[in-house]
Amino acid sequence: MTRLILAGGGHAHLSVLERLAQNRSTGGATGIEATLITPSAFQNYSGMLPGWIAGHYTLAECRIDLRPLAAAAGVRLILDSVAGMDAGRHTLILASGLAMAYDLLSLDVGSETDTGGFEALGGRLLPMKPLDDFFARWPQLLAQAQQTRDYRLVVVGGGAAGVEIALAARHAFGQAGIDGRVDLVASASGLLPGHAAGVVRRAQRCLVTAGIVLHHARASGETDGIALDHGTPPGTPPYPRLPAHAVIAATGARPLGWLGSSGLGLDANGYVAVDAQHRSMSHPQVFAAGDTCARQDVRMARSGVHAVHAGPVLAHNLLATIAGEPLCSYPPRPRSLYLLATGPRRAIASWGPWSAEGRWVWRWKDRIDRSFIRRFSPEAATSGSCFD
């Protein structure tokens, strides 16, 4: 028996579950005792989060139930979190205190929001990740906003997530009749870094139309809001301040803390260093995909697109390792399509230098997102159709 542990129910592991189920139904490789360790029975889909905030989706529409997928794959599901790892001893320590030994390990545990510099905000701070926490806390924020006059929400982070969340929040406030204001703070790297100038212009227009004030500054947390550092010389504070009832941090990713003491080879930022086959550079019995890994051979953005597309390669490589067969590589495409929701049922498409915008882009995004969820629905898992 090979003890295979899948840590995290992330995007890439959905493909691994799919492949293990296929393998089971076709009587493929045997002798695998597989376990999935993840804190929740549901995998929330970040691509639909802005649409959920804006009120276009129910929670049930934007999450995947991992239980039928694990059952169809013959994988034991443990609802717990990895809290520590000893790569030398091939052991994981779970938050419950349980120690789990593996022969082969696959990590798809994602990343956290980097909230460094915002600690002073205490309970006013709402980080984007972990996503489960965000989904749980957003309704509370909305309820608080409904009971507060001149409610002030600040979103920090000028990347795609920050822009989408600010626009979605503004739309939600409008729908709920909330007397509120939304500000967006983008740091020195600007609005939508990595996207073409046309995409940035379209997003700026959407922000203006929605009445969102955009600030270009370095933000830090204070007890009752945000301080904005516009790069003025030292000794010239106080910095301008943005009072806020709540601050959403969409400030970029950081690796999960326990990786630091795992013994795994990490890159300079603390992510698991992997090769083109998504195999750990230091421990050949460990694979990693999605936000938690750092490819050493190419520059690859941390995005759901890569986590999803690396999934089938990861699945192949795990089974090939067990069977002693050759591994394959995941070649990231030079550019990915991003569809950014802009509040009402509209979206911006960004693909290299090309961009477009409108209701039809939203319908396109909606079709893609819904079909992703449908592919991993309980009906598809039990009928086997999601594994076609």
Contact with ligand FAD (CB under 6 A) among 35, 146, 220, 303 = 303
Give the Å distances, CA to CA, from 373 to 37, 135, 340, 367, 383. 21, 17, 18, 10, 15
Contact call for residues 62 and 70 (beta carbons, < 8 A): no
- Residues whose CB falls within 8 Å of the CB of residue 72, separated by 6 or more in sequence, listed in order: 17, 21, 24, 381, 382, 384, 387
Contact status: 8 vs ligand FAD (CB under 6 A): yes
Nearest-angstrom CA–CA distance, 78 and 36: 6
- Interface with ligand FAD: number of residues (CB under 6 A): 34
Residue 82-121 contact track with ligand FAD, rule CB under 6 A, x = bound: x-------------------------xxx-----------
Using CA atoms of 278, 283, 286, 290 in order, give the dihedral in degrees to the nearest 10.
-40
CA 207 – CA 342 distance, rounded (Å): 9
* Residue 237 tokens, joined: 């504070």
Q: Which is nearer to ligand FAD, 46 or 222 (CB)?
A: 46
The SS3 assignment for 337 reads coil
What is the nearest approach in angstroms of ligand FAD to the Cβ of residue 344?
Answer: 17
- Candidates 304, 332, 343, 344: give the one binding ligand FAD (CB under 6 A): 304
Which residues within the stretch 37-76 sit at the binding site for ligand FAD (CB under 6 A)? 37-40, 43, 46-47, 49-50
Binding flags for ligand FAD, 122-151, as an x/- string (CB under 6 A): ------x-----------------------
CB 248 within 8 A of CB 126: yes
Q: Which stretch binds ligand FAD (CB under 6 A): 24-32, 161-169, 225-233, 372-380?
A: 161-169
Which residue in 3, 302, 345, 370 binds ligand FAD (CB under 6 A)? 302
Tell me which residues touch ligand FAD (CB under 6 A).
7-12, 37-40, 43, 46-47, 49-50, 81-82, 108-110, 128, 161, 164-165, 256, 290-292, 302-305, 307, 338
